[in-house]
Structure 1
């Protein structure tokens, strides 16, 4: 008898795992995802990426506003062997965690116990981690605290943004899930408890964290911040009072006499901002309400002079 698998996920990150289940011969009996919501500048009602992927495969889709008793009973009636959860966006109640015969398995974008929580990709970049990866974890009632079933590590490339790392980890998670799923369904994978000593929490990125603070922070930390916040929400800075989103930047050698929080140089190579240590060279940016462009193009319309504020 074919394995009975359910899937719960919502954003783009979850789509490769859903596609992997279908390709491996485990099309979910039902797919749970968040309700359609308004998005974009036009505030049009938009279906989640997982819903669109599920409908392409003709899978049954459920979009409850919350997971209550009705949804738990619906899952029990399906008598699943396993539920796969990838960035679903809701807390699963204990009754639902226990409903599948083999429980619920989460595809998490970090090497647990490091970076439990909502923003593991961004936090790994902000912290300057040299590597990250995927963990398959059996879910419990804690926040990413369940026993681990498998991990796959990958180095973080120099200059890699959150967007690029997101896409790589989504593919890596799908590959690991497809590879280990038969053993999970058979109950053959040993479970490894997480070591609390190495645990860290990946809180959501706040609006305040989008602002660069060159007067107080070194260029290396600001460069990581730019990468961690690209493409969304975008690292922000005011150049001579004009708000921009910094889309690409690099560390440049500073010079004696630079005043942190000021423009140090501006030209064809970019806009160099003096920081608490060295300079941050901005190479691509996006003015508020405008298009992304090379820093040199921005300067054609808005020249900057050494000493202009950058804060």
Structure 2
């Protein structure tokens, strides 16, 4: 099959490699334009663009499918388009360009968690099982018929970043198998059935920890927003970043947001029992062990998050 591959972040790379390994011809790669990264804001190609250039593949850089980008896609004459985390909507006018349409790899078991952040919402929600789906892209948001699915257990300590890394590899196999089956005329899409849930893109505010919530909900939220947009609270009027915490059901005498600094642990009260901080990042500093941060406090008594 002549495949147009559309993707931007590193999570899309396993799918690009899987399609190449399956013997499909990548006729072009569609990705977002170069963007400034790091503290020095150096303009940098996306991970997919960088890999495509290494492979000497034609690259189309566009933050939206306008007339110019659509013409470049049409010129590549793809039989099918495979899309993994491209980062922009495909307009109706472009959906008909590939003969077999656009096949999207989505990291949830559709129709659960339609939207931009399915893995994060799945972890925050406390799901025990998630997965990935391949489906035919249409105008609606993740509403098209499904070609295939695979499942993945969510571990108690998984962050969304860790879970997404696993799904990117197992999902890549699913995507390659789906394109193989389409090429062989051996698969057709099935209308989505089941409970619909939505997974909109998370904002910075979604990462804020509310200490009146139960410890389990706080644990899930912190893991769900790690790495993006990141978990945080306020201390001394400044944002204080948090890595995943440990549950401490043995400690129930702390008020929500109240800290207790012990020789080998830093505990915080919640709406149920305490949690133990593992790593923290005070404003203007690097990530460090919570106990190292606590040792540097001038006043260890009556510390309370805001």
Question: Do the two structures share a fold, i.e. TM-score over 0.5?
Answer: yes
Count of aligned positions: 306
CA distance in 2, matches of 1:66, 1:227: 31
Give the corresponding residue for 1:179.
177
Q: Cα deviation per residue 1:171-209 (whole Å; 9 max; x = unaligned)? A: 1111112233211223321311112x5111101111111
Q: Residues 93 and 262 from structure 1, CA distance in 2 versus in 1: closer, same or farther, beyond 3 angstroms?
A: same
1:211-226 residue pairs with structure 2 within 5 A?
Answer: 211-214=208-211, 216-226=212-222
When the two structures are superposed, what TM-score results if normalisation uses the length of structure 2?
0.95
Give 1:117-266 correspondences, 5 Å limit.
Answer: 117-195=115-193, 197-214=194-211, 216-239=212-235, 243-253=239-249, 255=251, 257-263=253-259, 265-266=260-261
> What is the aligned partner in structure 2 of residue 279 from structure 1?
274
Between stretches 76-85 and 31-40, larger displacement belongs to: 76-85
Q: 1:303 to 1:188 in 2, by over 3 A?
A: farther
Match of 2:7 in 1: 9
Contact 1:107 1:173 (C-alpha < 8 Å) held by counterparts: yes
2:68 corresponds in structure 1 to 70
Partner-residue secondary structure (3-state), 1:116: coil
RMSD over aligned Cα atoms: 1.7
**Structure 1 contact 229–235 (Cα < 8 Å) conserved:** yes
C-alpha spacing 1:268/1:25, structure 2 compared with 1 (3 Å): farther
TM-score (structure 1 length as normaliser): 0.93
Shift of 1:274: 0.9
Q: Which stretch of structure 1 is more off in the superposition, 72-81 or 176-185? A: 72-81
Q: 1:96-125 CA distances to partner (integer Å, 9 max, x unpaired)?
A: 111111111001111111001011111001
8 Å CA contact 1:24–1:178 kept in 2: the answer is yes
Deviation, structure 1 residue 303: 5.6
The Cα of 1:290 is off from its aligned counterpart by 1.4
Instruction: Give, in whole Å, the separation in 1 of the partners of 2:262 and 2:108.
Output: 39
Q: Secondary structure at the match of 2:119?
A: helix
- Return the match for 2:286 from 276, 291, 294: 291
CA distance in 2, matches of 1:72, 1:246: 43
CA distance in 2, matches of 1:100, 1:125: 34
Q: Secondary structure at the match of 2:142?
A: coil
Residue 89 in 1 paired to residue 87 in 2?
A: yes
Asked if structure 2 preserves the Cα contact closer than 8 Å seen for 1:54 and 1:61, the reply is yes
| Aligned counterpart, 1:102 | 100
* Aligned-partner Cα distance in 2 for 1:268–1:241: 26
